[in-house]
Structure formats: C-alpha cells, structure tokens
Amino acid sequence: MITVLVVDDDFMVASIHGRFVERTPGFAVAGTARTGAEALQLHDDLSPDLLLLDVHLPDMSGLEVLQQLRTRGSAVGVVMVTAERDAEAVRTALHGGALQYLVKPFEYADFAARMQRVREALETLADGAPDQAAIDRAFGAPPAAVTALPKGLSAESAQIVAEALARGSELSAADCGELVGLSRVSARRYLEHFVDNGTAVVRLNYGNAGRPERRYRSAR
C-alpha cells in the first residue's frame, strides 16, 4: 500500500483529493497538512511514500517544500496538484524530481491514471536492480519515444521532451519549448513525432481567437 500525505490549505479541496486517494486501489491517506511547515513535520513523523503537494500554501510555496525535502535528502515521491500553470513552476517541479504535475480542476479518471503511473515508478525504484525497460517506465518514456527518430531530431532532446510530457499536463509547443530549452518550432517537431508513433496524443484548443492551438499530452 502506498501511503499519501495530502498537502492543501483548502479544507474542501484536501478532502476531495483524500477521497480520490482512498478510491484508488493500492493507495491510502496517511495524513493531511494545511501548511508547508506542517507538511515537512508530517513527512518526518509519518514517512509517507508520496506527497500530493499544492504550490500555493500560506507560509511557503509547495515548490519550496519540495526543495527543502530534497535538500534534507528525502527521496519521497511528490505529485504537484495545483492550479498553477506558470512554466517556471513546472520547470522547478521537474528539476525537483516531481513524478507528476496535475493541474486543477481535474476528473477522477485523470487522477487515477496518473496514480497508476506513479505506482509503477515507485515500484520500479524500490527494485534494487531495475532493467532498462523498467527504468523507461519509471521515467514515463517508453523506448519508442527515443528510437527511429526523423532526421534532425536528437535522442537526448527527445528523451527530455518525453519526460516533460509524461510528468506534466497538456502542453503546447511553446510550453514544451520553454520547459526544455528548445524553440517552439523544434519542440513541435518532437511532439508531432511522438503523436505519429503513438507516444503522445494531440487536442485542438478552440478557446482563443484565430487558429486553434495544438495541445499535447502523453498517451499513457
């Protein structure tokens, strides 16, 4: 059973997320924290396997909580669950080793799918000697994402883009480019390649005036 510490200053939101956790096979709520300081203390007291961590907390940001945990040497799994869409926040979460970045509001089906991927990653990391296929699953990037690349695409950049897709929510080419340090045009080439090989799916967003925006997410 994967134990989860829910961290959110909104009582109702924390309650909903807690119910989502309990509804998901293999997961159980270990506790709930309303502030960053409380999250750090309960992390030490309860030793949970996973934190569902909001970015906006009253005393410090969830990203600061993540950084403090890593500075202390904690390898606890972290899923950012937040309404924050800022690219810098997503980049900081990636660099801090967050397993997922789930943007509120979301449906239970999306939550459950991501928790399944988190469980696979945590189980892989618990294995003392995972093979390459297991490592690929833990990083959310199957080998097809970085093989048989079209001319002009590099395996290294493809891997970084695949990891950004696997850990985050929907991304436009501009979002992806900013996250991984590529131009929008280059990022779109990788994203479209992943759509072609089934690693990613694309959705047209008609919310703004002009041409619809292409938004990408992992197909897993």
Query: In one letter, which amino acid is 101?
Result: Y
Q: In the CATH scheme, what is the code of domain 139-218?
A: 1.10.10.10
Q: Which two tokens stand for residue 166?
A: 């696997």
Q: How far is CA 131 from CA 134, 136, 138, 144, 181, in A?
A: 5, 9, 11, 16, 29
pLDDT band at 142 (very low <50, low <70, confident <90, very high): very low
**pLDDT tens-digit readout, 29-83:** 999 999 999 999 999 999 999 999 999 999 999 999 999 999 999 999 999 998 8
Can you list the alpha helix ranges (DSSP code H) found in the chain? Answer: 11-23, 36-46, 62-71, 87-95, 108-126, 132-138, 155-167, 173-180, 184-196
DSSP H or E run through 75? none
Tokens 């047209």 belong to 204
The percent of residues in the chain predicted with pLDDT above 70, rounded, is 85
HEC readout, 137-158: HHCCCCHHHHCCCCCCCCHHHH
Query: Is residue 94 predicted with pLDDT exceeding 70?
Result: yes
Say if CB 30 and CB 46 are below 8 A apart. yes
The H or E element that residue 78 is part of is strand 77-82
Please state the rounded mean pLDDT for residues 110-116. Answer: 86
56's enclosing H/E stretch is none
Contacts of 180 (CB under 8 A, 6+ apart): 157, 160, 161, 164, 187
- CA 77/CA 25 separation, integer angstroms: 17
Which CATH superfamily does the domain covering 2-126 fall into?
Answer: Response regulator (3.40.50.2300)
Average per-residue pLDDT for the chain = 85
Residue 125 has pLDDT above 70, yes or no: no
8-17, 104-113, 119-128, 135-144: which is most confident: 8-17
Cβ of 32: how many Cβ atoms within 10 Å? Answer: 19
* Residue spans per domain, the chain: 2-126, 139-218
User: Which residues, in sequence order, are CB contacts of 162 under 8 Å at separation 6+?
Assistant: 139, 140, 141, 145, 146, 194, 199
pLDDT at position 135, please? Answer: 59
Strand, coil or helix: 14: helix
Sign of CA dihedral 133, 136, 140, 145: negative
